[in-house]
Amino acid sequence: MYSDVSEAKVYGAVRKTTNRIVIHTISGPICKNGMLAYSGAFGDVWQWKRFFDTHPFLGVHYIIDRKGQVASSTPERLIANHALDHNEDTIGIELVHNGDGIEPFSAEQISALMALLKQIMARHAIALHGIVSHAELDKRTFACGERSFKSRTDPGDNFPWVKIRDALRGERMPKLIREPTLVEPRKRAP
């Protein structure tokens, strides 16, 4: 179910170009009692839509929850504050997910994401390589205990990039069944 009404009031100017789509997860790494932890992503799409629609400076274009429900927040034509220094030409999609590399992504969430990506790519002529992770763009770190960690790791190590890129390409990449073996060239008859 889509909701095209955005209550966001404080987000940026009208976008001039759209070249990339940034995949986020709600949760991210935090330091808790000197140990790396994740903030968690509870609730559904409507809870997070209210959060982004009313946040004083954060914004995102779409949210998809674990059940595959999709809601829009900031309209695509406007710049949303979702990826530091990469907002002017990007559309941000937040997945309600822990982003910890452990929690599996639901089939419903990934299916809804692929459908939304196809629509956005068609509307803005975005190439496949224009779909990027938040982690690729944001290199900030934070200290926790005596170590340093990336601040943005989303959508996480177990995000199904190959499945999504294959589906968006419209083809299935062949699976390697076994290692290739060297075949001697045939000798030509004299």
pLDDT of residue 15: 85
Rounded to the nearest integer, the mean pLDDT of the chain is 87
- The band of 1, judged by pLDDT with boundaries at 50, 70 and 90, is very low
Question: pLDDT digit string (tens) for 115-124?
Answer: 999 999 999 9
Question: pLDDT digit string (tens) for 85-94?
Answer: 999 999 999 9
User: CATH classification of 20-169 is 3.40.80.10, yes or no?
Assistant: yes
Percentage of the residues of the chain whose pLDDT score is greater than 90: 76
Taking 90 as the threshold, does the pLDDT of residue 172 lie above it? no
Q: Cα(132)–Cα(110) distance, rounded to whole angstroms?
A: 15
> Tokens for 169?
């390409």
Stronger pLDDT, 174 or 166, i.e. the higher one? 166
Q: Cα(124)–Cα(111) distance, rounded to whole angstroms?
A: 20
| CA-based torsion, 135, 6, 111, 95: positive or negative | positive
Question: pLDDT digit string (tens) for 62-83?
Answer: 999 999 999 999 999 999 999 9
pLDDT of residue 7: 45
Taking 50 as the threshold, does the pLDDT of residue 8 lie above it? no
Q: Cα(36)–Cα(88) distance, rounded to whole angstroms?
A: 31
Nearest C-alpha neighbor of 82 from the set 63, 60, 52:
60
Other C-beta atoms lying within 10 Å of the C-beta of residue 141: 13
Taking 70 as the threshold, does the pLDDT of residue 21 lie above it? yes
